[in-house]
Amino acid sequence: MNYLGELLIFVSLIAWGVILEDLILKEYFKRANNKFRTHHFSFSRYVYLLIFPLVAWILLIFRVGIQLFYIFFAFAFLGTLIEWLIGYFYHHIVGQRLWTYHRLSLGGYTSLLSIPLWGLAGALFWLLSRVFI
């Protein structure tokens, strides 16, 4: 199977999403005549951040197979768990936090919003491993 092609599809859809967001933001600030660009969190921008990678992931499930579905959820769970454990133990051993989450926080050590990002990163790493193995 040509995993390089699937990896290129995944990465190119992510790149197109970033380029489109940049163009939309430039047009928005140009029309708003806003000299100061303040980037605050919004759920709409978060969803937009996830749309292109998730579409690429869904397309690749049909091309690669159901194993990519399982890889996504395994990495989403394990990545979130490991992030929480590292944050928790670091906070209790050193006495300060490595990072803070303000929205949908799980004890202040991770966030529900990071779960799909861990899954997408896992899918990307799995595709990379298939290209170079």
Residue-wise pLDDT tens digits, 44-68: 778 888 888 888 888 889 988 899 9
Q: Above pLDDT 90, what percent of the chain?
A: 33
Q: CA-based angle 58:2:64, to the nearest 5?
A: 30
Determine the Cα–Cα distance for residues 90 and 96; give it in Å rounded to an integer. 7
Q: How far is CA 90 from CA 79, 85, 94, in A?
A: 16, 8, 6
**SS3 category, 106:** coil
Determine the Cα–Cα distance for residues 95 and 117; give it in Å rounded to an integer. 27
5 token code pair: 């092609």
Total number of domains constituting the chain: 1
Confidence check: pLDDT of 2 > 70: yes
Q: Which domain holds residue 13?
A: 3-132
Q: How confident is the model at residue 79 (pLDDT cuts 50, 70, 90)?
A: very high
